[in-house]
Chains A and B, each alone.
Chain A
Amino acid sequence: MLGFVMRRLIQMVITLFVISVISFMIIELPPGDYLTSYISSLAATGESLDQAEIESLRKQYGLDLPLYARYFKWLWGVLRGDFGYSFSWDRPVSELLWGRLGMSVAVSALSVAFSWVFGFLIGMYSATHQYSAGDYLATFLGYVGLATPNFLLALVLLWVIYVTTGVNLSGLFSREFIDAPWSFAKFLDMLKHIWLPMVVVGTSGMAGLIRTLRANLLDELHKPYVEAALSKGLPENKVFWKYPMRIAMIPFISTVGWSLPGIFSGETITSIVLNLPTVGPLLLGALRSQDMYLAGSLVMFLSFFTVIGTLISDILLAWVDPRIRLE
């Protein structure tokens, strides 16, 4: 087990390194360097920098260095918690990052929880009531859930809620609570809003879970050992929960890892549609104004969280299923 964890940790470090390279590439992608666009945006508002200031900024961001040296300079900053400067917000990226990322992780975690609970219940029902009306309904909804991209679902639900109740559920808080300090009332208000992104982001993952759980359970339910246990007179309920269920549960742990990129992906675009105070709108804004330090850091952290989440789910999986760690 320890060996397995070590191996996965080393792999993770390599993955994080590659992700940092890709993020740096994103920062460097737009034509021209950010200083030029910064200076031109300043010029547009009538301000100007003198040559000495430009030179000092050039030095500070290492724009006179070759590409690889710039990368290592940037990486060194990242390791110390300095992610560069956001020109459009006029603040260091690190100040903007954490609050938004926290919200993103919270919404994503809730979505995973939602897809687990409902995926589990519906999948179990589908498998134990195979070919019933409920099973067909679940299968159909699963298909539609897989086919409907998050942002379209968000758009349609937002519209349906607005037309039927007159409430605009976009955002995470009602207007009077946006800048209010945390209180119980604010928390309740958040609960009123957060279920929508939770359901929207959770459905696509849930559809996959229902399908795998149903298929796995159906495979297990007809195996000889289940028949043997039943023929020995064990109560049906006990047999079901004790054996096939435990094996069929494995995808719940293993798919979290694979589904995390999808969840973060879905969360990004859903929060843009729903205008949540998470990473999505911030990233879109940063990309539109070519605020590349901010954009690159956001992509990097979303990927980091995915990788760490995958690692945790892999370790959990190895712990639950000994076949994996012995591979």
Chain B
Amino acid sequence: MKRKEFQEEKFYYASQWQLIWWRFRKHKLAVFGGIVLLVIYTLAIFCEFFAPYDPTKYNSRFPYAPPQRIRFFHEGKFMGPFVYGYTSTVDLKTMRRVYKIDKSQIFKIKFFVKGDEYKLWGIWPSNIHFMGVESGYMFLLGTDRLGRDLLSRIIYGARISTSVGLVGVFLSFILGIIIGGISGYFGGAVDNFIQRTIEIIRSIPTIPLWMALSAALPLNWSPLKVYFAITVILSLTGWTGLARVVRSKFLSLREEDFVMAARFAGASEMRIIFRHMLPSFMSHIIASITLSIPGMILGETSLSFLGLGLRPPVISWGVLLQDAQNLTAVALYPWLLTPVVFVIVTVLCFNFLGDGLRDAADPYANL
């Protein structure tokens, strides 16, 4: 009895963010999504370290090598993690390389091994990789046409693909909050005009429009320029959803008692907006931002897949999937489709996380 009372008391003293956190914690799927995303972003941030190989390193001996399985037992004896090597022969009829597992070659997988040289974030030189083999080779997800390690390429691709979502959403957030704020705060004719504009933008099918806009990017632009141009294109249509959320919150909060109280107390308009209104709908905005990141990631993937977005030598998941456009290649080398798994898992986790945040965003509902 005493314990329950104490808990209730804690509940009433808790801050808004504390309540949101308690509510969010109950949403198991959202917590799970959040953890997976943390892992993916950690891989992306330190991709030089986590990738076992340099993603651009050609290996003429192993084009289209299938994924190696991690094993622990060699002829019934425990060895720790290792992979078997391959013997390869060229099939003279089809001119394709055929790989056979060679059990006499054992490559032990070690952690923090020395491998290809790299510069972390282009600054700190090192050659320590999270995992790898000291002698031999390890292609856990197979290799591509040029014998480049697919796992390393996917990890490097994660940096581009997942950051496009964040940068794009940041731009849409700025546009959305300014335009939505103006619309909701002033109301009337301004609001009407902005709402009609949003409706028009939303009525244009996004992919054809994105395709047309990104096809107009000059071919001689540097990868970095193209990257930012793509995020700008994606956020040109992406801001409308956020603007709508901001506007509707502004409209409903304008009538709230605490806004009225602040106005009577002589607070300036700016102070009312930033000190009183913004904090009370920040949680909703975070939730809808989370839910709009997947659209950006998929947008970049689609455009790069079609060859209109980022182009090799830049590595993104969409660029990697260009190799999977040819059905016969995919049928022979199905591991070329593995980037699909990463795209879907990332998007799915953002949806889980966003749904959980949306439910938790209003901690005072259904008390």
Query: Which of chain B's residues 332-355 have a Cβ closer than 8 Å to chain A?
Result: 334, 337, 340, 343-344, 347-348, 351-352
Q: Does the CB pair A168–B327 fall under 8 Å?
A: yes
Which of B204, B301, B330 has the most chain A CB atoms closer than 10 A to its own CB?
B204
Give the chain B neighbours of A30 by CB distance below 8 A.
215-216
Beta-carbon contacts under 8 Å, A247-306 to B: 258, 260-262, 264-266, 268-269, 272-273, 279, 283-284, 287-288, 290, 295-296, 298-299, 302-303, 306
Majority SS at the chain A contact face: helix
| Contact (Cβ within 8 A) A261 B204 | yes
Docked-complex contact A147 and B344, CB < 8 angstroms: yes
Binds A, one of B41-49, B55-63, B302-310: B302-310
Instruction: Select the stretch in A94-102, A155-163, A173-181 that faces chain B.
Output: A155-163
Q: Which residues of B contact A168 (CB under 8 A)?
A: 327
B212–A299 touching, CB < 8 Å = yes
Complex interface: chain B residues within 8 A of A272 (CB): 306
Q: Which residues of B contact A269 (CB under 8 A)?
A: 207, 302, 306
> B218 at the A/B interface (Cβ < 8 Å)?
yes
Residue pair B211, A283 in contact (C-beta under 8 Å): yes
Query: Does residue A11 face the partner (Cβ distance < 8 Å to B)?
Result: yes
Is the pair A151, B302 in contact by a Cβ cutoff of 8 Å?
yes
Q: Is A147's CB under 8 angstroms from B331's CB?
A: no
Q: Report the Cα distance A155→B324, complex, angstroms.
A: 8
| Contact for A162 among B204, B206, B331, CB less than 8 A | B331
B157 within 8 A of A: no
B103, CB-defined interface residue at 8 Å: no
Assuming the contacts A31-B218, A152-B340, A287-B308, asked whether A18 and B205 have C-beta atoms less than 8 A apart, the reply is no
Count: A-B pairs, CB below 8 Å: 128
Known A-B contacts A26-B213, A143-B351; A299 and B200 likewise in contact (beta carbons under 8 Å): no
Residue A315 interfacial (CB < 8 Å): no
Partner of A284, one of B202, B211, B327, B334: B211
Give the residues from 193 to 210 in chain B that come closer than 8 angstroms, CB to CB, to chain A.
Answer: 196, 199-200, 202-209
Supplied contacts A149-B301, A159-B330, A299-B208, 20 more A-B pairs, CB within 8 Å: A11-B199, A14-B196, A15-B203, A19-B203, A19-B204, A143-B351, A143-B352, A147-B348, A155-B324, A155-B337, A155-B340, A158-B327, A163-B334, A261-B206, A265-B207, A268-B205, A268-B208, A269-B302, A287-B212, A290-B215
Chain A residues within CB distance 8 Å of chain B: 11, 14-15, 18-19, 22, 26, 29-31, 143-144, 146-149, 151-152, 155-156, 158-159, 162-163, 168, 170, 258, 260-262, 264-266, 268-269, 272-273, 279, 283-284, 287-288, 290, 295-296, 298-299, 302-303, 306-307, 310
- Interface pairs A-B: 10 shortest CB-CB: A287-B215, A29-B216, A264-B205, A265-B207, A147-B348, A265-B205, A147-B347, A26-B212, A261-B205, A303-B204
